[in-house]
Structure 1
Amino acid sequence: MKLIKLTAISAAVLASSAALAAEPVIVVDGNEAVVYEAEPVAVAYQAEPVAVAYQAEPAYAYNADAGVVRNTTGAVVGGTKTFFQTVTHPAAISAEVGTLGYGANIGWALNDKTELQAGWAGGDVADLFGGDFDANDINYDVDSDFSNPYLGVQLRPTGNWFTMGAGIIVPDNDFDVTANANGPNFRIDNVDYNASDVGTLSGTLEHRNKLAPYATIGFRPNITNNFGLFGELGAAYMGKTNATVTSSNANGPVRAESVNGPVLGVTGQDVADKAKQQLEDKDWLEWMPIVKVGATYRF
């Protein structure tokens, strides 16, 4: 009985609602009464809604073929996974040899004309500079130990094989130098110091710059879809040099002769100090030439 009553009440309510919907509506506007005929409204009953999830396109996208993140800022901020994929999926790796040493670099393509590079070059490359140099009247043999990590950008401004590069080197280059006597003497500032009295003059050179900016131009032709060659010319500003020079007979007396006659009271270390000053005034390789060639594999 309760079910029948509830059904009857529900039907009555629905019928009343339909009837009310059909009744005219009287609206009084000022002194006039206007009658509006109400249109019946069709009521549709909807089943329970189904939840639908919409996935918005990400603001950044990793391109596995090119090693590109189209929106780098979005990748860094939006998620470490995409950034990690980019770092671990470089666009190219290269091997190189040149005045900075023997080394390699990894490149990440930012777009079709811009590539970020990180690399290292080093080793003993003194022979690439001739193996010796002159500081005023003294000739020095050179041994080197290079370490040049660098970070830079390679541009293809015209979209072809021509490239322009710029970046920063973190140099840690050591030069060991040994002076060669000119006959029986070392000549410094027009004074001849007896070489047998002086003994061996040896020392080190080190550039003062802890960060060295560089710039290059070059070419990077592709031989196949994956392999290519490159060559670069440029320079890095290494700054002035610090030198140390010692004599193997530092405290011993040294015979010295100038145009005005004998020079007295000279020791081996005095001669070494004069040689040190000449080396620092020389500023050898203040502008380090960059000449390199190499091969590239592109993924």
Structure 2
Amino acid sequence: MKARQILLLAATFCATTSVDAAGIGVRAGTTGVGVDFGWTLAPTLSARIGYSGLGYKTTIEESDISYDTKLTLSNLSAFLDWSPLGPFRITAGIVGNGNKADLTGTPTGGTFTINGVPYNAADVGTLSGSVEPGRSAAPYLGIGYGNVAGAGVNFYFDLGVIFQGAPTASLSASCGPALPPAQCTQIRNDLAAEQQQLQEQLDKYKVFPVLSLGVTVGF
């Protein structure tokens, strides 16, 4: 299920549901800066759709390689909030997960070390990679305080996890123009082994933590 399908389903659900109260919230947290629209379904049940995102760049130094990293956070959400105890609630739903990290590596000392094997930078050419979530549509479960559809101006808080599945790693390299085909094949084999090692590390991170705080205005 793609993110726009989630939005379409949420909009259809909203259009066919009786709304007693509604509100708009603005929040910031581990999924970026976002906005929510919420409406009541019953005295203790409400729904909301939202979007959050953020993009920033950083540099990661690893052994003899410097990685220029671009991290993009992009999350479209459709949640149900159940509030059995006043403002305290349990939240479940689905997230269209478009988070992604792109990396471009350059050597810090004139050589790349790939799978423990040193290569001249001119032989490797360009080293690049990416990390993407295992699921583009991921379940969400959490707890929280406050309601986006509540009357007046209020704060709201969310703590939960996105069950994103194990992120998928991809590494690639372009061989230098003067490099013999056999050595180019060896570089790619070593890069595949390096990718497998990275994938084994990423397999441990099957959930994405969510922590956010926002302010809402009801109407």
Structure 1-normalised TM-score? 0.55
Partner of 1:205: 131
Selected match of 1:103 from 34, 57, 68: 34
Find the partner of 2:175 among 229, 249, 252.
249
Distance 1:90 1:252 in 2: 68
The one of 150, 166, 172 aligned to 2:98: 172
Residue identity in the other structure for 2:49 = A
Using the alignment, how far apart are the partners of 1:270 and 1:250 within structure 2? 16
Equivalent residue number for residue 79 of structure 2: 152
Provide, for residues 49-75 of structure 1, a one-character-per-residue CA deviation record: whole Å limited to 9, x for no partner.
xxxxxxxxxxxxxxxxxxxxxxxxxxx
Match of 1:86 among 18, 26, 29: 18
Q: CA deviation at 1:232?
A: 1.8
Q: Distance in 1 between matches of 2:28 and 2:48?
A: 16
- Cα deviation for residue 132 of structure 1 reads 6.1
What does residue range 57-72 of structure 1 map to in structure 2 within 5 Å? none
Q: Which has the higher contact order (CA 8 A, sep 6+)?
A: 2
Residue 214 and residue 189 in structure 1: after superposition, are their counterparts in 2 closer, same or farther (change >3 A)? same
TM-score by length of 2: 0.72
SS at match of 2:80: strand
**Does the 8 A contact of 1:150 with 1:167 survive in 2?**
yes
1:165–1:286 distance in 2 versus 1, CA, 3 Å? same
Aligned CA distance change for structure 1 residues 277 and 238 (closer, same or farther; 3 Å): same
- What is the match of residue 297 of structure 1? 217
Q: Which residue of 2 aligns with 1:283?
A: 202
- Deviation of residue 165 (structure 1)? 1.5
Give % identity.
29
Aligned residues of 1:230 and 1:294 also touching (Cα < 8 A)? yes
RMSD value, Cα: 3.5
| Structure (1 or 2) with the larger CA radius of gyration | 1
Q: Which runs of 5+ in 2 are unaligned?
A: 1-14
The 3-state SS of whatever aligns with 1:286 is coil
Q: Does structure 2 conserve the Cα–Cα contact (< 8 Å) formed by 1:251 and 1:268?
A: no
Partner residue, 1:115: 46
Q: Identify unmatched segments of 5+ residues in structure 1.
A: 1-82, 255-263
State the Cα deviation string for residues 100-155 of structure 1 (Å, max 9, x = none): 2322111111233221111122241x56xxx4678999774431333321111122
Match of 2:144 in 1: 218
Distance 1:289 1:138 in 2: 29
In the alignment, residue 156 of structure 1 is paired with which amino acid? S
Q: Across the two proteins, how many residue pairs are aligned to each other?
A: 201
Deviation at 1:212, TM superposition (A): 0.7
Give 1 or 2: higher strand fraction: 2
Partner of 1:236: 162
149 and 250 in structure 1: CA distance in 2 versus 1, 3 angstrom threshold: farther
Residues 84-108 of structure 1: CA distance to partner in whole angstroms, max 9, x if unpaired? 5835x75211112222232211111
Equivalent-residue separation in structure 1 for 2:118 and 2:104 (angstroms)? 18
The code of the aligned residue for 2:69 comes to V
